[in-house]
Amino acid sequence: MSGLTIEQKENIQSLAGAFLTVSQKAAVAAYPWIGKGNKNEADGAGTEAMRNEMNCINMNAVIVIGEGEMDEAPMLYIGERLGVGNGPDVDIAVDPVEGTTLVSKGQDNSLAVIAVAEKGTLLHAPDMYMEKIAVGPKAKGCIDITASLTENMKAVAKALGKDISELTVMMQDRPRHDYLIKQVFEVGAKVRLFSDVDITGAIATAIEELDVDILVGTGGAPEGVIAAVALKCLGGDFQARLVPETEEETARCIKMGLVNPSAVLTMDQIVKSNDCFFVATGITDGLLLKGVHKKETDKVSTHSFVATMNHSHFIEARH
């Protein structure tokens, strides 16, 4: 779906390099706050750096997933317009410091992340829980979030040419996932638990060397949209279902255009365009990326991951 010309499409993809700089600057800005016990300062530093850099890009952008509503967040709030004001029209989903608690405690797996897509094509996901299941390219088309994890594992194992006991299933280490862990153990497969940041786990399913076959579980809906963009670029698959826990959350879904809040959302419903890309830079070391590290007196190194349609690469840089 798109009314864009070929030239406009190329312009959106060409923004990926500029957004790499955005995520690098956000990660470097958050770096001094690693292990300092102040997640708000870390988040504020990353947010300010990210916003300043995005306002220099030749684009007409709107934040659809960000730091919150305008009355909750002074910068990168939902609906905020960014960029020079000309160039491609795009939607942006962003988390300047994904894993603020991880940064404040000096723990692994925090990232600066951005997903960009053609205007009007990203799901405006409210800040609530979302059930998710993600797989890499070889298992695309084999998942069904309405089925049990056991059934999904059987289908994915068949697609990957593995015995079900050889699968590695990644999920967040939370009591709400105990029933999923039990299903993994019952078929003799492996569980890989993590504390925070499920975006990394979703992407890991599409990178063979990381040995993750399925990501499953309930986590933040905004992060689900960002992960879906990454997996679309990487050729993987993603399904989700929002989990509104109160009448207020249900009403918010409806207000945002989600008439049936508990309906299954496919990857193509979450990201309605193929014209999208994903960028992340590590803040602390993690499964996908190394964090920011001090080098010479006045230099730091960054490690980033960029995924455009059908192309992805890791980038190490010094600043």
pLDDT in tens, 89-104: 999 999 999 999 999 9
Q: Are residues 185 and 106 in the same domain?
A: no
Residue 8 has pLDDT above 60, yes or no: no
Query: Mean pLDDT across the stretch 266-274?
Result: 96
Examine residue 110 and state whether it is found in any structural domain, yes or no: yes
User: Is 129 labelled a binding residue?
Assistant: yes
Contact residues for 208 (Cβ-Cβ < 8 A; gap 6+): 136
DSSP category for residue 157:
H
Q: How confident is the model at residue 1 (pLDDT cuts 50, 70, 90)?
A: very low
Type of residue found at 185: F
User: How many domains would you assign to the chain?
Assistant: 2
Do 268 and 240 form a contact (C-beta atoms < 8 A)?
A: no
Task: Clarify whether residues 104 and 147 are in a common domain.
Answer: no
Domain identity same for 262 and 284 = no
Both structure tokens of 26: 């956000």
| 237 labelled ligand-binding | no
Q: List, for residues 11-36, the tens digit of each pLDDT value.
A: 788 899 999 999 999 999 999 999 99
AA identity, residue 144 = D
**Residues 44/97, Cβ–Cβ less than 8 Å:** no
3-state secondary structure of 306: strand
Say whether 17 counts as a known binding-site residue: no
Residue 105 lies in a domain: yes
Are residue 23 and residue 91 in the same domain, yes or no?
yes
35-70 pLDDT, tens per residue? 999 999 999 999 999 999 999 999 999 999 998 877
pLDDT digits (tens, 9 = 90+) for 165-220: 999 999 999 999 999 999 999 999 999 999 999 999 999 999 999 999 999 999 99
137 in a domain, yes or no? yes
At 11, give phi and psi (nearest 5°). Answer: -65, -40
**Distance separating alpha carbons of residues 76 and 63, to the nearest angstrom:** 7
DSSP assignment letter at 122 = B
179 is in an annotated binding site: no
pTM: 0.95
In a domain, 3, yes or no: no
Residue 292 labeled ligand binder: no
176 is in an annotated binding site: yes
Rounded Cα–Cα distance for residues 191 and 216 (Å): 11
